[in-house]
Structure 1
Amino acid sequence: MGANYFSDEQVKELEKNPYVKKVSVKSITYSEEFKELFWTDLQKGMLPRNIFKKYGFDPSLLGPRRTKSFTYRVRKEATRVEGFKDTRRTDSGRPLARVLTIEEDLERLKQKCEILQQENDFLKRVRFINRKQISKLQKDKQ
């Protein structure tokens, strides 16, 4: 069981903060605005604990692990092209295939053709072996 779940009272307290986008018993999602403010203060040399206090969060309520992992995520997101934007909805699932050039498309079709040819040869051999065994069984019965 997780060691740092929020109680119902703590969830209600966190929901009052304008920099909280969503909060549940297990997790908290911060607004993009807070992430940007946090990043600018972090670059100025402020400690993460003090930044959380500055914007109305109780660091002891969040715990050291949450503050440390949030700081890590903000540093990582600051280097992204998208910045602090939440990309979970747009980046979920398998990425879309890029448009292939004519040469790449031709090469893929050739490979697919070879695979299908091998599959056909295999099935022909299986049919041939089955026919052989059926005819052998029929001869043995007679």
Structure 2
Amino acid sequence: MSNKIFTEKEVKLLSQNKYVKKVSMKAITYTDEFKRIFISENEKGKLARDIFETHGFDIDILGINRVKSASKRWRKAYKNNGVIGLKDTRKQNSGRPREKELSLEEKYERLKAQNNLLKAENELLKKLDMIERGAIKKK
């Protein structure tokens, strides 16, 4: 996040841009469409600053550091995950996942499965211990 704080006038001006999803005094969220446009134009050799200016952003308001960091973040996300990496998933992943109340049968089944897993783990550890002891005796 940038250290630059937007004034109320700047927030109002930025929110009028069709490529801005949300803007506050501290942060700006760009649309997924703008991120895709940015990547395609950037791959053609266009500079980040020029892409932002072409699409109606005032660099003096945004600040060059915000442009550079967004550019770096989007290129990295695109490189790692393609177009899907540019998608804003915060709405789908908000907060702690909800857990429904389990019935007694479901709790029992979970505990039984956990118990079986621990038994298998103990058996494995016993076998490994026996193998190691056998290897030590042979030396």
State if a TM-score over 0.5 links the two structures: yes
The answer to which structure, 1 or 2, has the higher relative contact order (CA under 8 A, 6+ apart) is 2
Amino acid at match of 1:7: T
Alignment match, 1:80: 81
Match of 2:30 in 1: 30
Q: Does 1:44 align with 2:50?
A: no
Q: Identify unmatched segments of 5+ residues in structure 2.
A: 98-110, 120-139
Q: Give structure 1 stretches of 5+ with no counterpart.
A: 96-104, 113-142
Q: Deviations over 1:40-71 (max 9, x none)?
A: 11101111111111000011211121011100
Percent identity over the alignment is 45
Matches of 2:113 and 2:16, distance apart in 1: 58
Q: Which whole-Å deviations, capped at 9, do the CAs of 1:72-92 have from their partners, x for residues lacking one?
A: 121122132523211113334
Question: What is the alpha-carbon distance in structure 2 between the residues aligned to residue 38 and residue 19 of structure 1?
Answer: 11
Number of matched pairs: 103
1:15 and 1:40 map into 2 onto residues whose CA distance is 23
Which one of the candidate residues 89, 92, 115 is aligned to 1:90?
A: 92
Q: CA RMSD in A?
A: 2.5
Larger Rg: 1
2:8 maps to 8
CA distance in 2, matches of 1:23, 1:93: 21
